[in-house]
Amino acid sequence: MPGALEEWPPLTLEEWEDTYLTLHLWTQIVGKVRLVLTPLENHWWNSALYVNTRGLTTSPVAYDGGAFEMEFDFVSHRLKLRTSSGREDAIALAPKSVAAFYREVLAMLRSAGIDVHINPMPQELPNPIPLDQDEAHASYDPEYAHRWWRILLACDGVFRKFRARFMGKSSPVHFFWGSFDLATTRFSGRRAPPRKGIITSEAYSEECSSLGWWPGGGEIKGPAFYAYMAPEPGGYGTRSSLPAGAFYHQQMHEYLLMYDDVRRAKSPREEILKFAQATYSAGAELAKWDRTALERSSEVQV
């Protein structure tokens, strides 16, 4: 495409970590609005955001006989609100605290006649500060926010291709603001052993195989593609024929393929698809999924 931006830009964790932490919390605010105003779908799918041509969107949310949509626009760096009545509002994505962003978002919704109350406690984070009180996280570098979205956009296309090979139940390719990752999940059709906890008991109520991309954190010092099975069958961590650089992380119980290895590959897309297929095939074989019924034997040509 003439004038296209770099599809797989660099994203060194230490260079954008402050922006990453702030964005993680901002997306939780918008994600919680969607969660509160939508009916529960299996595995919390109603809570997720979606990649689009400008950033991340809630998709239409039904409200009071109409609908509204919220969009993180990482091109113009604004959070946009659009309603089915034709109203459009926006707030700037710029250095500001999480608490200030929280107030601006809820004020923008109220001004559009949308009354919503969310739980201000962040999800899936250690030592959380209530969103409406967080003055500690206040960074926003538009260059790195844009790079991060460009990677999500590139991954979205590859993950959709992988998802299309499966004929059983599978999730959309969607962004989870709790774990701050883009993912798609396949299901065997069998119930899984019950888990404790409101989130995990619903998320892992059925046997599944997940593929995703995550910016990194903790001992993982950079962005990475991941794959896992839940529940994990015995021997899963030793069975795959993986692309160069991929490995099984014993503590996380996940296969990882570092993003920097992928972006340097001759064909990043093919590298991701090889990783996805190898890790899924290993798990599906060990867990005795009905692969003949669940998988498409060949791609349909139209």
pLDDT tens digits, 137-159:
999 999 999 999 999 999 999 99
Give the relative orientation of helices 13-37 and 98-111 as an angle to the nearest 10 degrees: 30
Q: What confidence category does residue 28 fall into, taking pLDDT thresholds of 50, 70 and 90?
A: very high
Give the pLDDT of residue 6: 87
Question: Could you tell me the CA-to-CA distances from 46 to 6, 156, 253, 284 in Å, in that order?
Answer: 31, 18, 26, 26
Run of H or E including 187:
strand 181-191
Give the pLDDT of residue 2: 37
HSE-CB of 287 using CA atoms within 13 angstroms? 27
Q: What confidence category does residue 3 fall into, taking pLDDT thresholds of 50, 70 and 90?
A: very low
DSSP 8-state assignment for residue 264: T
Helix, strand or coil, per DSSP, at residue 142: helix
Tell me the pTM. Answer: 0.95
Give the pLDDT of residue 301: 53
Run of H or E including 98:
helix 98-111
- Encode pLDDT of 251-274 as tens digits: 999 999 999 999 999 999 999 999
Give the pLDDT of residue 241: 81
Output the average pLDDT for the chain: 95
Question: How far is it, in rounded angstroms, from Cα 86 to Cα 90?
Answer: 13
Selected from 3.30.2010, 1.10.260, 3.30.920, 3.40.50, the CATH number assigned to the domain covering 13-111 reads: 3.30.920
Question: How far is it, in rounded angstroms, from Cα 226 to Cα 275?
Answer: 9
Give residue for tokens 């009180």: 133
Give the pLDDT of residue 244: 86
Specify the amino acid at residue 240: S
Give the pLDDT of residue 77: 98
Question: How far is it, in rounded angstroms, from Cα 40 to Cα 71?
Answer: 21
* Cis amide prior to 231 (ω within 30 degrees): yes
Give the pLDDT of residue 302: 52
- The answer to whether the CB of 99 falls within 8 A of the CB of 80 is no
The domain limits of the chain are 13-111, 142-294
Question: Could you tell me the CA-to-CA distances from 96 to 22, 54, 140, 215, 271 in Å, in that order?
Answer: 9, 21, 8, 22, 38
- Encode pLDDT of 75-85 as tens digits: 999 999 999 99
| Stretch 212-218: mean pLDDT | 96
Question: How far is it, in rounded angstroms, from Cα 300 to Cα 74?
Answer: 34
66-73 and 88-92: which strand pairing? Answer: unpaired
CA 53 to chain centroid, in Å, comes to 16
Q: What percent of the chain has pLDDT over 90?
A: 92
